[in-house]
A and B are shown apart, each in its own frame.
Chain A
Amino acid sequence: MEPWVVATSLIFLYLLVTIVLGVVANRRMAIDLEDFLLYGRKAGFVVLYLTVVATYHSAFAFLGSGGFFYTHGIGFWDAGTWTILVGAITYVLGSRIWALGKRFGYITPADMLADFYESEAVRVVVALVSVVFTILYIQVQAQGLGYILSVASGDRIPFEMATLILIVVAAGYLMAGGLRAVYWTDVVQGLWMYVAVWLGALVLAFKLFGGPFELWQRVAAERPDLLTLPGPRGFFRPGMWLGLTIALSFGIVFQPHIMIRYYTAASGRVIKWLGATTPIYLMTLYIPTALVGLGGALVLPDLAIPDRVFPELLFRHAPAWLTGVILAGATAAAMSTLDSILHSNMTVLTRDVYQRYVAPDASQAHYVRVGRAIVMGLLVVGYVLSVRTFEFLVTLVTLSGSGALQLMPAILGVCFPGRRLYTRAGVLAGIGAGMVTLYLTLATFPHPLGLHGGVWALVANFLVTFVVSRLTPPPSAETVRRIHGAVEQFVYGGEEAERAP
């Protein structure tokens, strides 16, 4: 049997598994908004662990990271820093977000921020930021999926058709089973992608070089420029290294599809375990992709599209069944992120827009139906975006991360009690300043002085938030006492809740 037949068949087998899980989840689902959108706030450690890691790692982890090691060398090992920071942020901040969500019934990031800052304008702006920047991410994942299936089929399934098939399947099981379907499929996807990338990288390393250590020796002998900073093209200079660390840790965590996951945990302890242990998975996934990218730079030095290094190596040097298993793993990586982004956008639009401003008193079943209709709309938008442009994956991921990063001052203001309070005018002005700076430093004058544009935007955001907050009225004392008091009680158990005035 030809390799492309095996590879394509295995991907379709994998798709069948996700559809079955979606159907089963549909039968277990209660017609209730919290169940549909938040898994009933009862996700245990294993399910939450695998959905978070599968959601964090996307098509980019499979294709983009190998392409980055291939082009820019060892500098992409910076990924370890930002993945471990994701764990630390989850530990410290995610647990607080969980506690506030549980206490006050928050479903979206905008729920929490609008409540604390007592502002509908904050709700609208946060919802807008959440949707606009993650729709871009739908595009990235959909393109990744299109890549994978068209490559697996040897271009017999055109990119546009491949994208459509995979995005329809992801939207289908989401509409059928809500977040429960997303979580269950993410469990399969999280396991599959991890095993697949390690297996594929090790098989290639042994077959082509005699083992991983021999691969490193060959790279040092033939392409030493790949093993030091800033890399062959000078990409990983200090400012870029620092900027990616911030943009791809805080910037990803503040995207709604990750923040909403914090609300779904069964307990605060689950979130803390999540924070302490997710870096093990997230960081170690980049060990095999380094082998793929660096090894590929020696074996296939003239690839036109570096992101294709892994599938190209597999097709040329791995058995057909293994290629199929691994490309199905790559499909899993992209779909697990895509379904989560579709879900978070559906949640934001249903909760923050439709339920708030269009039909506040409708039944739970009505909102579930509206949520499904919104997924259909997102599917169309995501598909159109994905087939009209074709950019290098990591650039788009970074842009998405930098957008959500601008929510950082507002979120810290809620989750970290202190004497100085941010105000609604402060956070709105800060987000506005951050967005303008982001556009200037990413699109107009990219990365001034070598420092990543997202960091410039964040600095501007913090400065404006701080200054405007000094000049404008803070949230009411009652709200500050209620919300910061809840954080204080959660973190310190009510001891020393307040200092004597």
Chain B
Amino acid sequence: MAADVEPYPDFRSHYRPRTTAGWIAVFLFIVLLALAEPPVVHGLANRIEPWLLGLPFLYAYLLAVYIAMILVLLWAMRRKL
């Protein structure tokens, strides 16, 4: 009976990138995401000064992180990941 049962396919995990560019994109995105999350954002970044480009530090810091995250997505698109 066991011989009649179709075996399950053994796909490689899709949670792990399969190319170097894929690893770079995932790594950069996660690091940047961590920079926009606690504890960093409630610790080091949680201040008004120094002002950056006329903006309070926390606001400008997060804006910079957000822009970097979007750039990672655009880079992934360009690399056809």
Contacts and interface: CB of A to CB of B under 8 A. Distances in A.
**Do A and B originate from a single complex?**
yes
A81 B33 contact: yes
A484 B14 CA distance: 10
A251 interface: no
B76 A419 contact: no
A88 B73 contact: yes
Among A84, A272, A280, A498: residue with most chain B CB under 10 A: A84
B14 A491 contact: yes
Interface size class of B (residues with CB under 8 A): 35 or more
Interface string B9-27: 1111111001000000000
Interface residues of A, number: 57
Secondary structure of the A side of the interface?
helix
B66 A81 contact: yes
Contacts of B74: 276-277
B9 A227 contact: no
Contact of A81 (B8, B18, B37): B37
B70 A478 contact: no
Given A241-B38, A283-B66, 18 more contacts: A91-B76, A227-B58, A228-B48, A230-B42, A241-B37, A241-B41, A279-B70, A418-B12, A418-B13, A419-B13, A476-B6, A477-B7, A477-B8, A481-B6, A484-B11, A498-B9, A498-B10, A499-B11
Interface of A: 74, 77-78, 80-81, 84-85, 87-88, 91, 213, 216, 219-220, 224, 227-230, 237-239, 241-242, 245, 272-273, 275-277, 279-280, 283, 290, 415-419, 421, 474, 476-478, 480-481, 484-485, 487-488, 491-492, 496-499, 501
Nearest 6 interchain pairs by C-beta? A238-B38, A417-B11, A213-B54, A276-B77, A477-B6, A418-B13
21 contacts: A85-B33, A213-B54, A216-B59, A224-B48, A227-B59, A229-B58, A241-B41, A241-B42, A242-B37, A276-B74, A279-B69, A474-B8, A477-B6, A477-B7, A477-B8, A480-B9, A481-B6, A485-B9, A487-B14, A492-B18, A499-B10
